Amino acid sequence: MKYIPFDYAHAESVAERTRAFYESKDAKTQIHIKSCASLKLPRIPALNTFSFPRDMERYLDMRAERDYLFSRFHASVDDDFIPSTAPWYGIAEHTAFLGGQVDFTETTTFQHPICEKLADFRRLTLDRSNLWIRLVADGIRYLRERWGEYIPVRMRGADGPADIANAIRGSALFYDIYDEPEMLAELMEFCSRAVRFTLDLQREEATRIAGGCINGFGIWMPGRCMGQLSEDVSVMLSPEVYEAHFLPALQHCIADCDGAMLHVHSLGHRMIPFFASLDRIRMIEISSDPNSERAVDIFRRYRDALRDKTVIVAPTYEELIRMDDLLSENKTLIWYYAEDEADAKRALNAVEKYR
């Protein structure tokens, strides 16, 4: 295959348009066509058929080629998305750099809890030579050097401090809240540093565009961005417990960044006011869970608390055309998963007057 160089001049213009979107005080909308179901892309073998780190480059080449082919399709779409590629090994790479056994399956990876006793976390280190740090950071560098002419390379992203604490302790974390709250506070400080550690390494290697880079969810952010962060464990906590024991670590984690993006599940919607209260969190993505309220409805419920944030949702077309109230009053980023090119263009048409 003959590869065509990526249009970085266009990417710079999209980044500058996105910067203006962030800085605007007005309600505006951007839209990302994230995928196209009718586009036939090469299949990548199951994760558990590879041997890492030996197969890292071969595996990442396959991922990059798929992303490159999507970027060629995407060149005909006039949205606000900059296609990119990144390492991806399931999910365990978010926390496996702290230790613990990792199990590979066909489609993802799982990490076993690391510390049987809470005090054991004091033996954990933030080591640049760790296998999983290298698979991610070296993987980003490899992709940039091998594929950067043809497609930008984004960050992989990270779990938030509470999710890292949950990976370290497993279900025992919920007992630590009551049994050893002072030591839990020490653990949360460590987890806050761990988040910054992994994201700083990723940012060092990712493609720079207009003074920023593309975060783990494919969104361009300026400066020293921290995105995306996931605090999924908050779904299993009361707002009072999360605020007392976990929110301070998230606030500390993002205190000196230029902006953070937070991923929230619709089942965890009660935490949205806490997340929205943190100035450094510029963007909140609400993800729809099965058998729960749709993200668009959660957005509508918390629209006042989210007034100063960029809110990210992935509506169906039927939901999108009923979002006039939100798009006219809130700053919104639409993720759209198109069936085909015609579907992508009708979604663009539906939001054009708000862009």
pLDDT in tens, 300-313: 999 999 999 999 99
pLDDT category, 97, cuts 50, 70, 90?
very high
Residue 334 placed within a domain = yes
Token duo for residue 157: 């992203």
Neighbours of 296 (CB within 10 A): 21
Average confidence (pLDDT) over 160-171: 96
Residue 12 placed within a domain = no
Query: What span, in angstroms and rounded, lies between the C-alpha atoms of 318 and 292?
Result: 18
Q: Which domain holds residue 260?
A: 28-354
Q: CATH number of the domain that 79 lies in? A: 3.20.20.210
Residue 145 placed within a domain = yes
Q: What is the structure's pLDDT at 167?
A: 95
Average confidence (pLDDT) over 317-326: 97
Given a contact cutoff of 8 angstroms between Cβ atoms, the answer to whether 70 and 81 are in contact is no
Residue 2 placed within a domain = no
pLDDT at 317 over 90: yes
Given a contact cutoff of 8 angstroms between Cβ atoms, the answer to whether 225 and 215 are in contact is yes
Q: Is 213 left (phi over 0), alpha (psi -120 to 50) or beta?
A: beta
pLDDT at 1 over 90: no
Note the pLDDT tens digit of each residue in 2-60: 999 999 999 999 999 999 999 999 989 999 999 999 999 999 999 999 999 999 999 99
Query: What span, in angstroms and rounded, lies between the C-alpha atoms of 334 and 121?
Result: 40
Neighbours of 237 (CB within 10 A): 21
**Nearby residues of 23 by Cβ (< 8 Å), 6 or more positions away:** none
DSSP string spanning 95-119? TGGG---EEE-SS-EEE--S-SSGG
**0.75 exceeded by pTM:** yes
> Number of folded domains in the chain?
1
Residue 89 placed within a domain = yes
Residue 344 placed within a domain = yes
Q: What is the structure's pLDDT at 228?
A: 81
Query: What span, in angstroms and rounded, lies between the C-alpha atoms of 227 and 89?
Result: 18
Residue 6 placed within a domain = no
Residue 8 placed within a domain = no
Note the pLDDT tens digit of each residue in 216-264: 999 999 999 998 899 999 999 999 999 999 999 999 999 999 999 999 9
